[in-house]
């Protein structure tokens, strides 16, 4: 199996790489921190897998395209691409500075497009493959103080839904993963209460099972999948505002 993962230097991406690592599996690992990439690659090799590293920023379209070309050449094709790299930030509207939000939207939205699309011609030629994006339950509805993050994940959900309808006739499956809270560097910096927080290991087991089953959309944990989306969509505006974590409001 030939798997390319962005954001493989920490959290979900790193754990997915370690869980997929096995003899006969070739992994392409992408991220900006070179030392962390090499650590992740060493872990893959210890488990008997083959690892190639691609130090890159997913905002850089050409770097992503070059990494895809290099990985396909090295691995002789591609079976699975996981666009996982992403970042969080609170809105901080009062600063008047659009820079942080511009960066977040570029990384979380264009980063997914930059990562997945260069692999499409190869998958069309193969008439097989799976493209996965890690979105979030935050994409179900805009929440104040986190609007840019929520909007970025809604955009990913919609891109994946549309691409999926177009690419299925070529034998390409698209899967959108919507995690709730998972232990990672992103959640390490959250200073608010995170209900149903899952370990990285458990979350990645769930993600891998959903990918194996070729689900179109997979939301977890089940509490957020069963009740979260319908309730969040129907909830009145005042309630969304009340439950949305305000920066600085510490976890109980
Ligand atoms: N943890 C959660 O509760 C949770 C919930 C829902 C969705 N998610 C989503 O899950 C995905 C993985 O996040 P995580 O929770 O595992 O957090 P994390 O530990 O912070 O991992 C983020 C990964 O993305 C990479 N990355 C960030 N900006 C990048 C850029 N500009 N170019 C290339 N790589 C970049 C980071 O690598 P470098 O810094 O080395 O580049 C890192 O490997 C994200 O898309 C996140 O939004 C997480």
Q: Residue ranges of the domains in the chain?
A: 2-243
Q: What is the pLDDT of residues 60-85, one digit of tens each?
A: 999 999 999 999 999 999 999 999 99
Residues with a known catalytic role: 149
Quick check: 179 pLDDT over 80? yes
Residue nearest to atom 31 of ligand 1 (CA): 57
Q: What is the pLDDT of residues 19-57, one digit of tens each?
A: 999 999 999 999 999 999 999 999 999 999 999 999 999
Which atom in ligand 1 lies closest to the alpha carbon of residue 107?
31
Which atom in ligand 1 lies closest to the alpha carbon of residue 8?
43
Q: How far apart are CA 182 and CA 196, in angstroms?
A: 9
Q: Are 74 and 52 in contact (CB under 8 A)?
A: yes
Quick check: 144 pLDDT over 60? yes
pTM: 0.96
Q: What is the pLDDT of residues 197-213, one digit of tens each?
A: 899 999 999 999 999 99
> Does 12 contact ligand 1 (Cβ within 6 A)?
yes
> Does 84 contact ligand 1 (Cβ within 6 A)?
yes
2-243: CATH topology: Rossmann fold (3.40.50)
Q: How far apart are CA 227 and CA 240, in angstroms?
A: 15
Mutate to test the pocket of ligand 1, among 136, 186, 192, 220 (most ligand atoms within 8 A of CB): 186
């Amino acid at each position: 199996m030939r798997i390319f993962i962005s954001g493989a230097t920490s959290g979900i991406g790193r754990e997915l790489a370690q869980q997929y690592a096995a003899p006969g599996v070739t992994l392409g690992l992408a991220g900006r921190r070179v030392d962390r990439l090499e650590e992740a690659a060493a872990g893959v090799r210890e488990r008997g897998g083959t690892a190639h590293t691609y130090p890159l920023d997913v905002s850089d379209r050409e770097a992503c395209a070059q990494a895809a070309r290099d990985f396909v050449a090295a691995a002789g094709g591609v079976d699975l691409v996981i666009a996982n790299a992403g970042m969080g930030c609170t809105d901080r509207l009062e600063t008047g500075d659009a820079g942080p939000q511009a960066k977040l939207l570029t990384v979380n939205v264009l980063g997914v497009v930059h990562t997945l699309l260069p692999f499409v011609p190869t998958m069309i030629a193969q008439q097989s493959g799976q493209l996965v994006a890690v979105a979030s339950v935050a994409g179900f509805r805009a929440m104040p103080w986190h609007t840019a993050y929520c909007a970025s994940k809604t955009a990913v959900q919609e891109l994946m839904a549309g691409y999926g309808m177009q690419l299925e006739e070529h034998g390409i499956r698209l899967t959108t993963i919507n995690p709730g809270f998972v232990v990672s560097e992103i959640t390490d910096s959250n200073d608010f209460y995170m209900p149903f927080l899952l370990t990285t290991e458990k979350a990645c087991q769930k993600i891998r099972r959903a990918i194996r089953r070729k689900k179109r959309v997979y939301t977890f944990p089940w509490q957020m999948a069963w009740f979260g989306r319908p309730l969040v969509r129907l909830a009145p505006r005042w309630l969304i505002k009340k439950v949305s974590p305000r920066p600085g409001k510490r976890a109980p």
